[in-house]
Structure 1
Amino acid sequence: MNTMTDAAALAAAQPDEAAAPTFRDELLAKGILIDTGENGLYGRSQVFEDVIDRLNVAITHLGADQQPEVLRFPPAMRRTDFEDSEYLKSFPDLAGTIHSFCGNDAGQQRLLRCLDDAMAKSDDDRDDEWMSQQKPTRVVLTPAACYPIYPVMARRGPLPAGGRTIDVLSYCFRHEPSLDPARMQMFRQREYVRLGNAEQVMAFRQMWIERGSLLVTLLNLPVDVDLANDPFFGRGGKIIADSQRAQALKFELLIPVANAQSKTACLSFNYHMDHFGAIWKIGCEDGSVAHTGCVGFGMERITLALFRHHGLDVNAWPDDVRAVLWGDTKARVAHGLAGANA
């Protein structure tokens, strides 16, 4: 994962250019990203969204031969499913819950008085006393696009002999505010998720390491796939992270985005073993516990990498990159796959 999380880290990476505009500054000045006043929370311009849309088309063609089932979920999931996922055991600092007012008329009056007091102060000095009237709802913000899939698959019963492949896309939330534009609090993940036996899932992951690298190569971006681990929380997190690396469960495709000295994880290739299968009792046809794996495309991060390496004017991007995104995308992807399989 990209380790830059604040302005100090960004400045440290460019000590001789502290006064120079950062990549984030350039994106905001050009109107490609829209500043909301909250670090890691941005509006997107039409140009940015157009690139996202074109990338999605390319990714669809890249996985079309797998005949995935296409599922789309809102960026929220049932709280009980979230609790079952064990996400809070590993990443409590990243989770986002959804609260709402559940009081009576008297409670609303207390809320409004507290809100009036808060609004009398400047933004940075406001207190959050009015939020004492809020209570947790039955939904939470989705931390990863694949999370809503597993309980749905479990309710269907045993997997077919060939397992299942799911194509999913969702906005996700992680509470890690940052000035690094590639580390957003709200962002999109496009994933292909595989459910089946260990051999099927491992073959799937290897295939997508190759295909993800192919896509990035077609986009004229640098390819660097490396062993990785998730940012597990707490004192025990290092032990879990070391175990994850020792078992080679996670690989990331890294591309410089915020600056040339640091690399950002833009694609992730994950093997969960039977973790989710055991939690939700997802079974294979032979009665064994299903294994799962996924490839995750960080849609904003890949888009930012394109702007970083090819410039802020999409019309001036290299012809071969524009041909992939705005030309005959299907043919370009098919030609790349044929060359990789030759």
Structure 2
Amino acid sequence: MDNIHYILLDEPLSLKHAEELEKRIYFISANINQFKLVKGESTINGVEVSLLPGTDPIEIKTKLITVIDNEIALQKVLPPRVIWKSDKHDTTYQDDLFDKLLEKEMVYEMGEGQVCFGEKLIFLMDTLDRMIKEMTISNFGAIEYRYPTLISTKALEKCGYFKSFPHFLMFVTRLHNDIDTYRDFLEDYTSHNGVGSYLLSSCQNVDYCLPPTMCYHTYHQFQNTQHAESQNRVITSIGKSFRYESKYHRTLERLWDFSIREIVFMGSKDFVLDSRQKFMEASFALFQKLGLEGHCEVASDPFFCSEDTAAKIFNQRMQELKYELRLKVADDRTIAAASFNFHDHFFGEQFNIKRGESEWMSTGCVGFGIERLAYAFISQHGMDEEKWTRILSNGCPEAILAD
């Protein structure tokens, strides 16, 4: 049985920090099985944790306090600035929606954060993606690329991902290319009656990772290139992205692998900012047609495990570098279904992408989580497929529905 422990904070933490604390606790230790914040009227006074047997609660408290002191308590909590709100709808939400999807064999659970989709969900996700793709190509002149699944570790390093999001990383490795290694592995495999962590001693290659998002492929694609000052680009792609979500994985909302439709703007700073604004407006209009209730607000990325986490979050919010489209999945809960980001010349500089002789390329990107879009769609519109078709026809030509 798990051991329940009450960890008293040395200093009470403002309730305003509850969300930031909650999304970090499972990453503090794999030995935390469950947790609950212990709250006062305006403060968080402690955390009740369920720990795996043999776990030292003092060690857990030390880790918890370190994260609070370095990453959370220093954050200046700003009320989210909402830049767009949809029309309100009279919607009845089902608490057991995911169970209903399982019952109707529209999805199958395959493991932690792993879901298999049936034909009906595939139709819905593909249709939503085609609508976004069509809008991107027809309105913004985007060129589409199809990227490989793996991304080089060096490319991910240039993106700064290791320093900002180490908790999400998922590496790909292989056995060292040597006949003796293969033989030793087969012996170990036979003696252990299966695969386990012992095999890591036989592995060597960590040159590739599973990509956490699609836009990193685009920056890697255009590294060490020079473009005319008047040349601007819009690139789109869709592919599987991977993020380790620990025990936060939930229904279709937080999968370990998921599909992202990404749009990257490359060019002058004015072009990128203008394109991002126009794309947001086009997206809001599309979701209004689809009858989806939600809002768009200033947001920040889930930085973790860095001494300057609080500064990064504050800077990102103050400069409004990231907007997040949040769609309702319950009366009192929304999920992030899309983000609209501006990077200035960070990726241009990191990947040596230039405008003219000396100016770094500015970039921005838009990402849509296709599974999350589909889940929000079903949460709000129900499971009647004929109703889906009627609603989807409001947002796209009949040709897209027929594909």
TM-score by length of 1: 0.83
Residue 58 of structure 1 aligns to a residue whose secondary structure is: helix
Provide the residue aligned with 1:107 in structure 2. Answer: 181
The equivalent position to 1:57 in structure 2, one of 127, 130, 135, is 130
Quick one: distance in 2 between partners of 1:184 and 1:226? 23
Q: How far apart are residue 46 of structure 1 and its match?
A: 1.3
Matched with 1:196 is 267
How far off is 1:159 after superposition? Answer: 4.4
Q: Post-superposition shift, 1:84? A: 1.7
Tell whether the 8 Å contact from 2:341 to 2:366 is kept in structure 1 after alignment.
Answer: yes
**Does residue 29 of the first structure (1) align with residue 103 of the second (2)?**
yes
Return the alpha-carbon distance in structure 2 between the equivalents of residues 216 and 118 of structure 1: 53
SS at match of 2:145: strand
Amino acid across the alignment from 1:173:
F
Q: Report the counterpart of residue 123 of structure 1 in structure 2.
A: none
Aligned counterpart for 1:128 among listed residues 185, 197, 213: 197
Alignment of 1:290-309 (within 5 A): 290-309=361-380
User: 8 Å contact 2:226–2:356 — kept in the other structure?
Assistant: no
- Taking a change above 3 Å as real, the CA distance of residues 241 and 207 of structure 1, as seen in their structure-2 partners, is same
For residues 109-137 of structure 1, the C-alpha deviation after alignment (integer angstroms, 9 at most, x for no partner) is 443344345547xxxxx852223322234
Judge conservation of contact 2:210–2:242 (CA < 8 Å) in 1: yes
Identify the match of residue 331 of structure 2 among 260, 273, 281.
260
* Residue 91, structure 1, aligned to residue 162, structure 2: no
Contact preservation (8 Å) 1:323, 1:329: no
Instruction: Give 2:157's aligned amino acid.
Output: E
Taking structure 1 as reference, are residues 160 and 326 closer, same or farther at Cα in structure 2, changes over 3 Å only? same
Determine whether 1:231 maps to 2:275: no
Distance in 2 (alpha carbons) for counterparts of 1:275 and 1:267: 21
Helix, strand or coil at the partner of 1:224: strand
Summarize the Cα distance change of 1:206–1:46 in structure 2 as closer, same or farther, 3 Å threshold: same
Q: 2:244 aligns with which of 175, 189, 214?
A: 175
The counterpart of 2:148, out of the listed 65, 74, 78, is: 74
- 1:98 deviation in Å? 0.5
Aligned residue number for residue 221 of structure 2:
152
Q: Tell me: CA distance 1:94–1:49, structure 2 relative to 1, closer, same or farther (3 Å).
A: same
8 A Cα contact 2:299 2:324, kept in partner: yes
- Describe the shift of the 1:127–1:8 C-alpha distance in structure 2 as closer, same or farther (beyond 3 A): same
State which structure, 1 or 2, has the greater radius of gyration over its C-alpha atoms: 2
Query: 1:171 Cα shift?
Result: 0.8
Instruction: State the TM-score, normalized to the length of structure 2.
Output: 0.71
- Paired positions, count: 314
- Within 5 Å, give how 1:5-20 maps onto structure 2: none
The equivalent residue for 1:205 is 276
Counterpart in the other structure of 1:248: 320
Answer whether contact 1:277 1:289 (CA < 8 A) is retained.
yes
Shift of 1:77: 1.3
Give the SS at the match of 1:230.
coil
8 Å contact 1:193–1:295 — kept in the other structure? Answer: yes
- The answer to whether the 8 Å contact 2:176/2:205 transfers is no
Q: Distance in 2 between matches of 1:328 and 1:320?
A: 15
Q: Secondary structure at the match of 2:315?
A: helix
1:44-73 Cα deviation digits (max 9, x unpaired): 111111112211221122121321121110
2:388 to 290, 304, 317: 317
Contact 2:289 2:394 in 1 (8 A): no
Structure 2 segments unaligned to the other structure (5+ residues): 1-18, 27-32, 37-93
Report the Cα distance in structure 1 between the residues aligned to 2:193 and 2:331, rounded to whole angstroms.
42
Tell me how far apart the structure 1 counterparts of residues 367 and 216 of structure 2 sit (CA, whole Å): 12
Q: Is the counterpart of residue 141 in structure 1 residue 233 in structure 2?
A: no
Query: Do the aligned partners of residues 306 and 326 (structure 1) sit closer, same or farther apart at CA in structure 2, a change above 3 Å counting?
Result: farther
Contact 2:224 2:352 in 1 (8 A): no
Aligned-partner Cα distance in 2 for 1:42–1:50: 16
Q: Deviations over 1:244-293 (max 9, x none)?
A: 00110000000123x43221110100001111011012111363111100
How far 1:80 moved relative to its partner? 1.8
The aligned amino acid for 1:85 is C
SS at 1:25's partner residue? helix
**Does the 8 A contact of 1:310 with 1:318 survive in 2?**
no
Higher strand share: 2
Where 1:215 maps in the other structure, the secondary structure is helix
Q: Residue 46 of structure 1 corresponds to which residue in structure 2?
A: 119
CA contact (8 A) 2:345 2:363 kept: yes
How much identity, in percent, do the aligned residues show?
24
CA contact (8 A) 1:163 1:284 kept: no
Letter in 1 for 2:301: D
Q: Structure 1 residue 208: deviation in Å?
A: 1.3
Distance in 2 (alpha carbons) for counterparts of 1:29 and 1:159: 56
Amino acid at match of 2:257: M
